[in-house]
Amino acid sequence: MAYRDNTKVIHIGDRVIGGGNPILIQSMTNTRTEDVKATVEQIKRLEAAGCEIIRCTVPNEEAAKALKEIKKEISIPLVADIHFDYKMAIAAMENGADKIRINPGNIGSRERIEAVVSCAKERNIPIRVGVNSGSLEKELVEKYHGVTAEGLVESAIDKVGIIEDIGYDNMVVSIKSSNVMLCAKAHELLAEKCKYPLHVGITEAGTLYGGNIKSSIGLGIILSQGIGDTIRVSLSGDPVEEIKTAKFILRTLGLREGGIEVVSCPTCGRTKIDLIGLANQVETLAANYPLNIKVAVMGCAVNGPGEAKEADIGIAGGDGEGLLIKKGEIVRKMPENQLLAALKDELDHWG
| Residue-range domains of the chain with CATH | 3-252 (3.20.20.20), 261-348 (3.30.413.10)
Q: Tens of pLDDT along the chain (351 residues)?
A: 689 999 999 999 999 999 999 999 999 999 999 999 999 999 999 999 999 999 999 999 999 999 999 999 999 999 999 988 999 999 999 999 999 998 887 787 889 999 999 999 999 999 999 888 888 889 999 999 999 999 999 999 999 999 999 999 999 999 988 899 999 999 999 999 999 999 999 977 678 889 999 999 999 999 999 999 999 999 988 999 999 999 999 999 999 887 788 888 776 655 556 677 888 888 888 887 888 888 988 877 666 666 677 889 988 877 778 888 888 788 889 888 888 898 899 999 887
Determine which helix (DSSP H) or strand (DSSP E) holds 200, and give its type and residue range: strand 199-200
Q: What is the DSSP letter of 58?
A: -
Contacts of 206 (CB under 8 A, 6+ apart): 178, 214, 235, 236
pLDDT at site 267: 66
CA dihedral for 13, 135, 205, 239, sign (positive or negative): positive
pLDDT at site 107: 82
Determine which helix (DSSP H) or strand (DSSP E) holds 130, and give its type and residue range: strand 127-132
Q: Which has the closest alpha carbon to 158: 203, 200, 194, 197?
A: 194
Contact 166, 181 (CB under 8 A): no
Q: Which has the closest alpha carbon to 94: 82, 105, 83?
A: 82
Q: How far are the Cα atoms of 7, 258, 303 from residue 335, in angstroms, in the given order?
A: 55, 31, 18
Question: Phi/psi of residue 17, each to 5°?
Answer: -130, 165
d(CA 183, CA 197): 16
DSSP string, 206-272: -SHHHHHHHHHHHHHHHHHTT--SEEE---SS-HHHHHHHHHHHHHHTTS---SPEEEE----TT--
Residue 351 CB neighbours (<10 A): 5
Contact 57, 85 (CB under 8 A): no
3-state secondary structure of 330: strand
Determine which helix (DSSP H) or strand (DSSP E) holds 26, and give its type and residue range: strand 24-28
pLDDT at site 44: 97
337 CB-contact burial (10 Å; exposed 0-12 / middle 13-18 / buried 19+):
exposed
Q: What is the DSSP letter of 134?
A: G
Read off the pLDDT of residues 119-146 as tens digits, 9 standing for 90 and up.
999 999 999 998 888 888 899 999 999 9
DSSP string, 61-80: HHHHHHHHHHHHH-SS-EEE
Q: How far are the Cα atoms of 7, 10, 229 from residue 1, in angstroms, in the given order?
A: 12, 20, 14
pLDDT at site 190: 97
